[in-house]
Amino acid sequence: MRKRIFLLPNDAYAHTVFAMNQMQHIRTIILGISQKEMAGIVERDQATISRWERGSLEPSRDDLVKIRKFAMNRESLTWSDSLFFEVPSPSNSP
């Protein structure tokens, strides 16, 4: 999770706003699953999912294919591969 810090007018402190990346957006907003569940889908450990979400590691093509396959098998979900590449809008962030 990346942090953006904005100084507030007339205040001596900073306000932190968290910007959600694509993988965290897909996991939490689109799929509604935990890091542990995502790790099971891609056959990796939870720490790897955390690294994806922090931006210190990127998922492989095979990982993306597994996520896509999982998402497309969910009947209640309309999947678009563009979710892997679009920056989530702030209104969709928790």
Condensed to tens digits (0 to 9), the pLDDT of residues 15-64 reads 344 457 889 999 998 999 999 999 999 999 999 999 999 989 999 999 99
Question: What pLDDT was estimated at residue 24?
Answer: 93
Residue 3 falls inside a structural domain: no
In this model, does residue 94 exceed pLDDT 50?
no
Beta strand 14-19 with 2-7: parallel, antiparallel or unpaired? antiparallel
> Is the CB of residue 66 less than 8 Å from the CB of residue 43?
yes
In this model, does residue 10 exceed pLDDT 70?
no
Total domains present in the chain: 1
Q: Max CA-CA distance within the chain?
A: 51
**CA 14 to CA 24: how far, in whole Å?**
24
Mean pLDDT of 63-69: 94
Question: What pLDDT was estimated at residue 90?
Answer: 60
Query: Is the whole-model pTM more than 0.75?
Result: no
Residue 37 falls inside a structural domain: yes
35 vs 90, more confident:
35
In this model, does residue 89 exceed pLDDT 80?
no
Bridge partners, 17 (sequence order): 4
Residue 12 falls inside a structural domain: no
- Written as six digits, the tokens of 7 are 């100084």
Residue 61 falls inside a structural domain: yes
**CA 2 to CA 87: how far, in whole Å?**
12
- H helices, E strands: number in the chain: 4, 2
> Is the CB of residue 39 less than 8 Å from the CB of residue 31?
no
Whole domain around residue 49: which residue ranges? Answer: 22-89
